[in-house]
Amino acid sequence: MGRVVRPHGVRGELVVEVLTDSPELRFVPGSVLGLKRRSGQGRKSSAQSLTVTAARHHAGRLLVRAEGVDGRDAAEELRGALLTVSSDEAESPEDPDEFHDTELIGLRAQLVAGDEVGVVRDVLHSPAGELLSIAIPDPEADKGEREALVPFVSAIVPEVDLDKGTVVLDPPEGLLD
């Protein structure tokens, strides 16, 4: 639904990058949002959810207040965290070419020719558009895999088949290297 960009002020407000088409339904007082922290983040707090107490627009951004986030330090701990909603609460996109991040994560990535290259580990939202983070097996890498960032555009990702659990890639030369 959103990503915490940074704290705002000293009272614990959060600047949230909105990733939903219906923020007016998701960021209302009483809404409980899942909290997915970046790896290594949130050692001081084990909260896995966030209850919205207030939300407002300010200078083109969404500012959110949440229970238990009472100061700048508490808000800073949430920097980069992804705010989610369970898949049964999420509306299905009307456009068949739109997907929720959770639908894409875990799909097998394969080339047009059918060769499997890896697994979608995350969907990154950048100002230039969405990127699929593909974990590609690599025995020489530290964790046995490396990451390739693939622009999620139809020219490079011509097919997503949720039933088969695959995304088909047609990458330009060197993209996956």
Residue 100: the pLDDT is 75
Specify the DSSP class assigned to residue 141: S
Residues 97 and 91: their CA atoms lie apart, in Å, by 14
All domains in the chain, ordered by first residue: 2-84 (2.40.30.60), 101-169 (2.30.30.240)
**22-48 mean pLDDT:** 74
pLDDT at 112 over 60: yes
Residue type, 31: S
When mean pLDDT is compared across 39-48, 97-106, 134-143, the lowest value belongs to 39-48
DSSP per residue, 57-101 = EETTEEEEEETT--SHHHHHTTTTPEEE--TTTSPPPSSTT---H
Do residues 52 and 31 touch, judged by C-beta distance below 8 A?
yes
CB 140 within 8 A of CB 162: no
User: Is this prediction's pTM over 0.85?
Assistant: no
Average pLDDT rounded to a whole number, residues 120-125 = 88
Residue from 26, 44, 59, 92 nearest 3 by CA: 26
Reference 66, options 27, 20, 40; nearest CA is: 27
Closest by CA to 64, choosing from 99, 109, 24, is 24
Cα→Cα distances 40→26, 54, 92, Å? 27, 28, 32
